[in-house]
Chain A
Amino acid sequence: EVQLVESGGGLVQPGRSLRLSCAASGFTFDDYAMHWVRQAPGKGLEWVSGISWNSGSIGYADSVKGRFTISRDNAKNSLYLQMNSLRAEDTALYYCAKGPAGGHFDYWGQGTLVTVSS
Chain B
Amino acid sequence: EIVMTQSPATLSVSPGERATLSCRASQSVSSNLAWYQQKPGQAPRLLIYGASTRATGIPARFSGSGSGTEFTLTISSLQSEDFAVYYCQQYNNWPSRTFGQGTKVEIK
Instruction: List residues of A whose CB falls within 8 A of some B CB.
Output: 33, 35, 37, 44-47, 49-52, 57-59, 61-62, 95, 102-111
A50 near B89 (CB under 8 angstroms)? no
Interface on chain B toward A: helix, strand, loop, or mixed SS? strand
Instruction: List residues of B whose CB falls within 8 A of some A CB.
Output: 1, 32, 34, 36, 38, 43-46, 49-50, 55, 87, 89, 91-92, 94-102
Q: Which residues of B contact A95 (CB under 8 A)?
A: 43-44
A35 near B97 (CB under 8 angstroms)? yes
B91 near A104 (CB under 8 angstroms)? yes
Q: Which residues of A contact B36 (CB under 8 A)?
A: 45, 105
Q: Which residues of A contact B49 (CB under 8 A)?
A: 102, 104, 106
Bound together, the chains give a CA A111 to CA B44 distance in angstroms of 10
Q: Which residues of B contact A109 (CB under 8 A)?
A: 43
Closest residue of A by beta carbon distance from B44: A108
Q: Which residues of B contact A58 (CB under 8 A)?
A: 95
